[in-house]
Structure 1
Amino acid sequence: MKYIHTIYYLLLCSIILLPLEAIAQNQTIHGKVIDQATQEVLIGVNIIEKTETNGIPNGTVTDIDGNFTLELKSSKGLLSFSYIGYKDLLLTVNNKTFLNVEMTADTQSLDEVVVVGYGSMKKSDLTGSITSIKAADLTKMSSAQPAAALQGKAAGVTVIQSGAPGESPVIKIRGIGTTNDSNPLYVVDGILLDDMQFLSNEDIESIQVLKDASATAIYGSRGANGVIIVTTKRGTQGKPRINVSAYEGIQYALRDHLDMCDATQFATLYNESLKNEGVTDGYYDNPESMGKGTDWLGEILKTSSVRNYSVSANGGSESVNYNASFSYFNQDGIIDKSGYERFTFRLNNEYKLSKYVKIGHNLSYMHSKRDMPLGGAVQTAYRLNPDAKVYDEDGNFADSGHSSKQNVVADIHYYNNNVLRDRLVGTAYLDINFLKDFTFKSNAGVDFNNGYERAFVPEFFISNLHQQQTNSLSKTWSKYKSWLWENTLTYSKRFKNVHSINAVMGYTLQEFNYEDLRGEGQEIPNQDDENMWYLGNINNATAKVGNTAWSSSMMSYLFRLNYSYADRYLATVSFRADGSSKFGPNNRWGYFPSVALGWRVKEEGFLKDVEAISNLKIRGSWGKTGNDKIGNYQYYPVVYTNPGNCDQVIGGVHIPGATTVDISNQDIHWENTMQTDIGFEMGLLNNKLNLEFDYYYRLTSDMLLVPTIPGFVGAAAVDTNVGKVRNSGVDFTIEWRDQLKNNLNYSVRLVGSTISNKVVDINGKKFYGGGLLGGKAATITTEGLPMSSFYGYKVLGVYQNQAQIDHYNSLDGNSDTPYNTLYTVKPGDLIFADTNGDGKITVDDKTDLGSPLPKFTGSLGITLEWKNFDFSIDLYGSFGNKIYNGKRAARNANSDNFDTQFLKRWTGEGTSNSEPRMTFEGNNWEVSERFLENGSYVKIQNVMLGYTLPKELSRKMNLENLRFYIAGDNLKYFTKYHGFTPEVGGDALSLGVDNSFYPVAATYKVGLNLTF
């Protein structure tokens, strides 16, 4: 064995020392290439030495950090730098060993370089569907979550914002293909993660969204829902540069479409409901004298502050590059005790050990505190009786009377729940360039996420129905850690300036571990002293503890080959094999191939001289990806032992017993997603006009679902591969950029996506969701319909008189048989449609009422730059979906308030044919089209006006750049929906059901960007 280790050691030394031997023979030049205006590194710049040997060009390209190394044939060599979208540049070496190169953008011909899985490429050479978002677009939004800034920036990406501070938005790429976790994979500086919450917007250099299988298959089992690659800012060689960003802002809830009845209106509708129900008492005597009453939503919503401060230092030398940053974010929340505070530290360094070997690290630490909002506070405020008061005459919290909900202001006051989180995410890497065309990279990453949650409710008394008899405390400590080790070998070669090959192969390992410890108890003495809120102070008789843990691991092999012939004909082939511990031995491995072709038509002779067409590329791809986001150990049966429930005594003998809790599925395996993409990219008029179009077809098969099993089995089912879901549509981006004679630069960008979703097969099963009051279901997931389709009764109108009721009763030929068998109806009640044609209304007449998924989403962005001023406006819209207004449908039979839509109710013949008479229950409260609303909207997503200090003044102040701006986010929704926001999410089986969400807030802010 020792001889094997010796041979391995000698081989490794040979690989490292081989380039060093060449140094003695020829001079080697190193350098970095950056954009002259933005100082950002340029990836993939072609560098050719003009001195040729035997007619074979001597050249290289810059890496992901903009660095290059080239062995020269002449010590005074002339180097040519060329890069699509930039002016060509010639530089003489003159015995130099390092070059700082700044290239100037050619505004008439722009092209991106994007980061792809395990590498980078020029966008012109891509065969997959990838969208790139730059740092400037991310810092516009006032959110702690960088993912929120993706809304409207990438075609095919749906982002549903959350108003709750610290909560991540919901992101879906090209629809929803699973009832399991359908969130994308995040890759931050090479480490594979489930989110990017720990990042500050200011630390991000760029984000690439990988959408089709050609781009995502290299991530195999985790690529089915799309991949978001994040590259953070890194050091650049040169003098230190200090960047400061700061803003202060205010936030408030947008309430344009959420009008509640005041006390007089409520009492009027309440009395009317009692009358229609035939109740003889409980009436309000004089509604007109009750006035406005309490605006409960106004009591819990407030104007709050939001602020962000960030400072970074960037620089480097020939041997070390560094970027260090610190950020602070604080958002109070528009509801008390719902704030979020975060500190972020980042250190990205790279060290050049030799001309061919470098190491580096990307480290990020986050500490956050989130005050968890009281669950259902908005829904409670929505339903509270406006006749109830917040405080009594003595200034104490008042009882809410006979309302079904309790004083929500008091509940918020007494409720205490906060979560502290410490998270360390980092990677360390080793790069070795050898044999001129090979690069070996070893990358190790870790994610340590420790959480601490404390919830305390003190003892209090407001009324017999609203009290906490003993105080209670619960605490949870959680620890999540994962590590990743990736080893890749890349070969990049250009032959005779015609054939280009880039191949990467690799081997990866990743492991995940989680454990939590929970404790709770009651009766803490001196409850008003927060220093006493510890489990050691509880009454031991009330103590409870719990402990949960799980682990999983994955091993992978990957390969990708990119080939280009004459920069015209492109091909990409990739393959990944993943083995996961989540699946049994028979199905542990999944295999995920892809293939893509591209044709740069513009490079053909018949188009090369056509000046009107600057770029034209056609591409197509096919591939398979997977999804393993299910629970652990599902191929194991779970057995539960409990002496009280399982053990038996037979004949005086104690016999231990056990029962099966979860049955197992030995055949459980990967969800597979097959995706086909056909697209083209076109640039016209010197790339002033750029178009990108993609058609995609995405079929998820073997979808993992939990089937319904008979109750006598006595155990819970586990996931089973039974489903197929199809998503298809088109993505497009149209952008126009130009400069007018008066030095006005402007651009207009239109992004759009269509989505068609359909459940193809789930073995004839039906899955219900919606979570409405009383356990009613508002959605159905079944074959032939989109996922989570709304399911209920179609409404034909309102019965205007008894004659109309009699007419419907006679439709089956027997007037003595009621048309509506569900309830006894009266004039003013809703008319349901007989969808199955049997002449009566039964539960079998429930039918598809529409989809929560939009048919089209899009954005419009306009930017203007004139002299030292800049202006931008972004609009975002979603169209063609419906929302089930669950909060309107959630009414208690005796007391809940109504929104003003109920004032349009039927009060007599001809008064309304859409809003029924007032009742507390019955036909009018069934799941039907009554509570279904148009979910389409357009919103003013962001408006920003900035002014940059002239360079002459900046220099006098020893500053490189100083910019001031004012901006606003989420300023206005244009929608017919009656809710705080039409951005309604939900889990995969309950999409689009609004049971009351934390409102999305409008933000106004002022800020500055400073560099010196």
Structure 2
Amino acid sequence: MEKLNETILQRQNKLYNIVLCVLMLFISSFTIQAQTVKGTIKTKNGQVLVGASVRIKGTTRGTTTNNEGLFSINATPTEILVVSSVGYKTEEITVGNKTTIELTLEEDLSALEEVVVVGYGTQKKSDLTGAVASVNLETMRNAPNTNIGQYLQGTVPGLNVGLSTSAGGTPPISIRGQVTLNGSQSVLIILDGIQYTGSLSSINPDDIASIDVLKDASSTAVYGAQAANGVILITSRKGKYNQKPRISFSSAYTSQTPTIGNLKPYDRDGFIKQLTEAFYDRAYLAPGYTEPNPNFKVSDVADASMRDGAGNLLPNNYDWFGQGTNRGSIFENNLSISGGAEKVTYLISGSLVNQSGFIVNDKFKRQSIRANIETLPFEWMKVGLVSSGSFVNQDGQEPSFSSLIRISPLLVPYDANGSLIPFPTNTLEPSPFTTYEVDDYDRNKYLFANIYTEIDFPFLQGLKYRMNFGNNYRLSQRFNSSIYGAGQTGSAYKNTQDYYDYTFDNILTYNKAFGEHEVTGTLLYGSVERKFNSVNARAEGFSRLSLSYNNLALGTTKFIESEAWNESLNYQMARLNYKFKNRYLLTATVRRDGFSGFAKNNKYGIFPVAALGWVISEENFMKEVKAVDFLKLRAGYGTIGNQTSRYTSIARVSTGNEYSYVYGDGGTTSFGQQVTSLGNDNLKWERTTGLNLGVDFTLLNSRLNGSLEYYNNKTRDLLFSVAIPNVTGFGNINTNLGQINNTGFEASLTGKILEKGGFKWSSTVNFSANTNKIVSLTGVDANGDGIEDDLISSNLFIGKSIGTIYNYQTNGIYQLTDERLPSFPVGSVRIVDQNGDKDITPLADRIFLGRTEPAYRFSISNSVEYKGFTLSVLINSVQGGKDGYLRNNNPSYFRDDNSIRVNYLQGIDFWSPTNPTGKYPRNISGSRAKIEPNMYQSRSFIRLQDVSLSYNLGNLLKSTKAQSINLYISGKNLHTWTKWEGWDPEVNDNDSDGNPVNGLTTSGRPVLRAITVGLNIIY
């Protein structure tokens, strides 16, 4: 018993000693005095780092450096400071007895370690096997871009972004070349992990944190058939855990003027001059028509609407163009607050944009709000909401811009009582202001939300599940009334459209590293459903419109239309990423897509892709090559799909007046239905099989880095509407046929030109070239010559590009004394008689003149920093090479009853006997030429696209607590070097008849030159 008691006593003493030691350690932790540690964080070049993070390792305590790179923090000698900044290597330093620390951060070659957003996850840039590029948004922040698409011009090789000529408009966007004929050609937009189906004009550019572009099959395969034309991944800004509140405010004002120079309609004197030239056969004496006829008076040939009661020309010189246009402007304000605690992050932002375009009432107003919130209810669980709302106001209608150009300055818009004259020319040509003086309500509401949860399973490290439930909703309301509508009887309508879609994704990811191996597997199961509804009510014939569009019952004739559709997608995806020794990489993906728009026999398609990567710089034999910091080869091969539009695979029924029948005398009209399209149960997915080869490199101690890409894509089973014999009762059927090959090369190089004494100069060059070729179409050899037939009526030719121009070759203008082919008057275009038979026919005299596609594109951006100043310059260019990037530009003149009434653009070089070298035809014969051919011009250009100069006022305003106060001035579309004549070479707009309008036409719209002054404050 005594031994037992002794043993118990010994154990008690040991326990007492342990408790005492722990207690002493606990007490000592409070007795160690925290000290104030101050320091400076710099780069190896001696520049201070603003906003660098300094935190206590293992805690949530931390701070950031100010405008002078200084920090101050309380820490005990045993604690460790962790210092980090984006683009630099993280350093750790034990406090010890130091009260002052000066630390130099080395630049991180992790541009290689940079995390890039990819489909359904992220990857280190060094681990990528596909063609993925990131947009450098910082160089574009100061540009006057109300639409996020405008940020993308010239930023990434292979990403082709055009211009928009309307306020808030979205520019055309494509990635690499055209891989389809009738299939979808839309780039897929993914916003915060969810497909975004709203307008890009609804997204506030200031909310965007990053934009990544997926270009090849390996990178886009995870998004399946919707990504056949590439993917743009947009990630919005969020708060950070353990970050004090960050307040950001920006304000900017932009003034916009057209880049068109003297491309304006004639004033009174010019109009009279061109009307004289239109009647050169009377205004000048025969036979040469160069000597003025003293008996000629313009009033004798002018339209009656332009003459007074005595037959004299009206004295007016009204500037229709000036009255219908004004200086454009953009005024915008952005405010955001972000931050986070240990368990929650937040970002709340709001934005106001008010843009007025060059044309009166071309207006765009956007109010937007965003709330991104994330919380950690448990250590292993994350729940978040990414949400935004945009409210766009585009009330009002423009005056007809083409009419502003066409209408004569001898006429005026208002009568003596101040009332608008609806038809100043006394013809069916209305006044430009009949479309302007209306009551117009045009609103769009865009709502977006992605509710997500992410679970890191505690029982199996590396296993993660994420659920996304994304929603897009759009409500469009367009109400209008016009006293000039319905033949001056008045018209009004109300149109309401609502669109909704949801995306439900379930993503399971497993990541495991063992030894020199690392494996990441991703499984996806998801679905999408889209719904649309439209109701339109309209009325005509109002005795009065005092209630505008709010009482359609007052109209004598009323109409009601409605429309609705829905479609759904279902998909599954599996992806494996494997890495061995940090140098051998594998990505394998298979995706299965189902779409309701396909017929029953081909609802689903399966598309596999694989890619390999080899980080050569990690090999031992490369260690001695000091000039090479990083070198990686990539190769990807696989098949992706493209889907048809809804209803194309099924027979459709239409109804209308043409199917009506009256049964018996005095009977009511019955409206029948008729099958108007032929279904195809075997219509299947278009398939593009592609090879992508890439090289990524960093050289010369990170002074030069870039990537090179080569791709070769073959698209088979093209979705196309093929003509069939009319005996079937139909004109065509949607089917699969043919093959298109698409090849290209891309290069991106970024170099640090100079870094010395606080002066930094870097430059980026992007280059891309693309060609496509039609390999086969219908497979029909009607001539029996062993050669497949072209589809000439569709302008599709075997062995040629999709944009091939097959037309007549022109050779100047027929002069007065020239020998002319039959039915070609003086002043008409001379067409080359290719077979010499003295006649011009479509089969014998058309040849291949070139193509509409460009040969290559390039951009050069420069950034220079010195003592708080930053200068950014972007030059963008599209070049056609030999016979490429051509488009019709033929503002021909034919004298008839209408043409003598209208005005024309100044500077059009029309032919006349007094201007025999004129470039464009003027035909006054009274009979049109047998053929009036297109006249093609090169659209090649070099554009000084963006220039920005900013200065950080932080050094001057040291008393403020702001992290940054940045004042800037920027310019956009400052100058364009081109031989193209007309509105702009890059604009791709067409009129209602599908004719191009970017040349010397009255239907074009000018590109705007912008000058911006702005201020950014971060607190």
TM-score, normalising length from structure 1? Answer: 0.81
Which amino acid in the other structure matches residue 504 of structure 2?
Answer: W
Distance 1:37 1:130, change over 3 A: farther
What residue number does 1:851 align with?
Answer: 851
Which of the numbers 161, 165, 168 marks the counterpart of 1:166? 168
* Alignment CA distance shift 1:128-1:643 (3 Å): closer
| Letter matched to residue 1012 of structure 2 | K
Q: 1:637 to 1:77 in 2, by over 3 A?
A: farther
Amino acid corresponding to residue 480 of structure 1 in structure 2: Y
Amino acid at match of 2:1006: P
Match of 2:491 in 1: 472
Q: Distance in 2 between matches of 1:83 and 1:1009?
A: 21
Q: Is the 8 A contact 2:498 2:533 kept in 1?
A: yes
Q: Which residue of the partner structure matches residue 693 of structure 2?
A: 678
Equivalent-residue separation in structure 1 for 2:704 and 2:487 (angstroms): 65
Counterparts of 1:501-580 in structure 2, within 5 Å, are 501-524=519-542, 526-527=544-545, 529=546, 532-539=547-554, 541-580=556-595
1:830 counterpart residue number = 829
Equivalent residue number for residue 961 of structure 2: 958
Give the AA of the match of 1:311: L
| Secondary structure of the structure 2 residue equivalent to 1:609 | coil
Indicate how the Cα distance of structure 1 residues 412 and 546 shifts in structure 2: closer, same or farther if over 3 A, else same.
Answer: closer
- Partner residue in 2 for 1:56: none
Q: Aligned letter for 2:501? A: S
CA 1:450–1:915 in structure 2 vs 1: closer, same or farther (change >3 Å)?
Answer: closer
Matched, 1:247 2:261: no
Superposition map of 1:25-40 within 5 A: none
Residue 928 of structure 1, CA deviation: 2.8
**Under a length normalisation based on structure 2, what TM-score does the superposition of the two structures give?**
0.81
Structure 1 residue 356: Cα displacement: 0.7
Inter-partner Cα distance in structure 2 for 1:656 and 1:150: 51
Q: Is the 8 A contact 1:216 1:226 kept in 2?
A: yes
Paired residue for 1:899? 905
Residue in structure 2 matched with residue 423 of structure 1 by the alignment = 446
- Please identify, of 847-856 and 263-272, the stretch whose mean Cα deviation from structure 2 is larger: 263-272
User: 1:495 offset after TM fit, Å?
Assistant: 1.6
Provide Cα deviations, 1:572-608, integer angstroms capped at 9, x if missing partner. 1111100110111210001121111111111122222
Bigger shift: 547-556 or 122-131? 122-131
In 1: Cα distance, 2:704 partner to 2:690 partner: 29
| AA of the residue aligned to 1:933 | Q
Single out whichever of 552-561 and 603-612 deviates more from structure 2.
603-612
Question: Are residues 986 and 779 of structure 1, via their aligned partners in 2, closer, same or farther at CA, if it must alter by over 3 Å?
Answer: farther
- Give SS of 2:157's match: coil
Which moves more between the two structures, 335-344 or 534-543? 534-543
Contact kept in structure 2, 1:793 and 1:927, CA below 8 Å: no
Q: Deviations over 1:89-142 (max 9, x none)?
A: 347899xxxxxxx99561666333210001111111111111101442443332
Give the whole-Å Cα distance in 1 for the aligned partners of 2:780 and 2:997.
Answer: 21
> Residue 264 of structure 1 contacts residue 291 of structure 1 at CA under 8 Å; is this kept in 2?
no
1:317-356 equivalences in 2 (<5 Å): 317-356=341-380
TM-aligned CA deviation for residue 968 of structure 1: 1.4
Q: Is the 8 A contact 1:458 1:470 kept in 2?
A: yes
Whole-angstrom distance in 2 between the partners of 1:906 and 1:720 = 51
With over 3 angstroms needed to count, the CA separation of the structure-2 counterparts of 1:408 and 1:641, relative to structure 1, is closer
Q: Structure 2 CA distance, aligned partners of 1:1004 and 1:914? A: 35
Are the equivalent residues in 1 in contact too, given 2:640–2:687 (CA < 8 A)?
yes
Match of 1:811 in 2: none
Equivalent in the alignment of 1:626: 641
**Could you say if the C-alpha distance between residues 40 and 422 of structure 1 is closer, same or farther in structure 2, counting changes exceeding 3 Å?**
farther
SS at match of 2:566: strand
Q: 1:669 Cα deviation (Å)? A: 1.9
| Counterpart in the other structure of 1:805 | 819
Q: Which structure 2 residues correspond to residues 688-767 of structure 1 after superposition, within 5 A?
A: 688-709=703-724, 717=732, 719-763=734-778
Q: CA deviation at 1:162?
A: 0.9
Aligned equivalent of 1:141, options 140, 143, 149: 143
Q: Is the 8 A contact 1:638 1:663 kept in 2?
A: no
The answer on 1:967 being equivalent to 2:984 is no
Check whether the contact 1:160–1:983 (CA below 8 A) recurs between aligned residues: yes
Aligned 8 A contact 2:207 2:237 in 1:
yes
In the TM superposition, what whole-angstrom CA distance separates every residue of 1:235-276 from its partner, at most 9, and x where no partner exists?
A: 112111111011012112222262544444444443444455
Counterpart secondary structure, 2:185: coil
- 3-state DSSP of counterpart to 1:428: strand
Deviates more, 1:351-360 or 1:705-714: 705-714
- Alignment equivalent of 1:130, drawn from 108, 115, 132: 132
For the Cα contact (< 8 Å) 2:655–2:671, is it kept in 1? no
Aligned residues: 899
Q: Does 1:110 align with 2:111?
A: yes
> How far has the Cα of 1:734 moved from its partner?
1.5
Structure 1 distance, partners of 2:800, 2:261, is 33
CA-CA distance at 1:801 after TM superposition: 5.7
- Separation in 2 of the partners of 1:456 and 1:890? 36
User: Does the residue aligned with 1:586 lie in a helix, a strand or coil?
Assistant: helix
Secondary structure of the 1:312 match is strand
Identical aligned pairs, as a percentage? 28
Aligned counterparts of 1:189 and 1:508: Cα–Cα separation in 2: 16
Q: In terms of mean alpha carbon deviation, does 832-841 or 556-565 score higher?
A: 832-841
Matches within 5 A, 1:796-945: 796-800=811-815, 802=817, 804-805=818-819, 820-821=821-822, 823-826=823-826, 828-836=827-835, 838-844=837-843, 845-880=845-880, 881-885=885-889, 892-903=898-909, 905-907=911-913, 911-912=916-917, 914-919=919-924, 926-930=931-935, 932-945=936-949
8 A contact 1:672–1:702 mirrored in 2:
yes
Match of 1:437 among 462, 482, 485: 462
| Letter of the structure 2 residue corresponding to residue 115 of structure 1 | V
| Maintained 8 Å contact 2:765/2:858 | yes
Q: What's the offset of the Cα at 1:922?
A: 5.5
Task: Please state how far the C-alpha of 1:383 moved relative to its aligned partner.
Answer: 2.8
Q: In the alignment, which of 1002, 1009, 1012 is matched to residue 1005 of structure 1?
A: 1012
* Equivalent residue, structure 2, for 1:223: 227
**Cα displacement (A) at 1:963:** 0.8
SS of residue paired to 2:436: helix
SS at match of 2:975: strand
Distance 1:350 1:374, change over 3 A: same
Residues 569 and 596 of structure 2 are in contact (CA less than 8 Å); yes or no, is this contact kept in structure 1? Answer: yes
Q: Matches of 1:890 and 1:411 in 2, distance apart?
A: 27
Unaligned runs of 5+ in 1: 1-34, 43-47, 50-75, 95-101, 461-466, 767-776, 807-819
One-letter code aligned to 1:864: V
**Contact 2:567-2:646 within 8 A present in 1 as well:** no
- Cα distance, 1:764 vs structure 2: 7.6
Change (3 A) 1:140 1:927: farther
Q: C-alpha displacement at 1:412, in angstroms?
A: 4.1
Bigger drift between 621-630 and 76-85 goes to 76-85
CA contact (8 A) 2:53 2:85 kept: no
Query: Secondary structure of the equivalent of 1:719?
Result: strand
Contact 1:159/1:170 (CA < 8 Å) preserved in 2?
yes
> Which letter does structure 2 place at the counterpart of 1:858?
F
**Residue-by-residue CA offset, 1:907-955 (whole Å, 9 max, x unaligned):** 17x932744454377666944353x22211122211111111135724x
What is the deviation of 1:721?
A: 2.2
SS of equivalent residue, structure 2 residue 864: strand
Give the whole-Å Cα distance in 2 for the aligned partners of 1:335 and 1:105. 52
- The equivalent residue for 1:197 is 201
Counterpart of 2:983 in structure 1 is 980
The alignment's C-alpha RMSD in Å is 3.8
User: Match of 1:32?
Assistant: none
Displacement of 1:374: 4.1
Contact 1:675–1:699 (CA<8 Å) still a contact in 2? yes
2:618 corresponds to 1:613: no
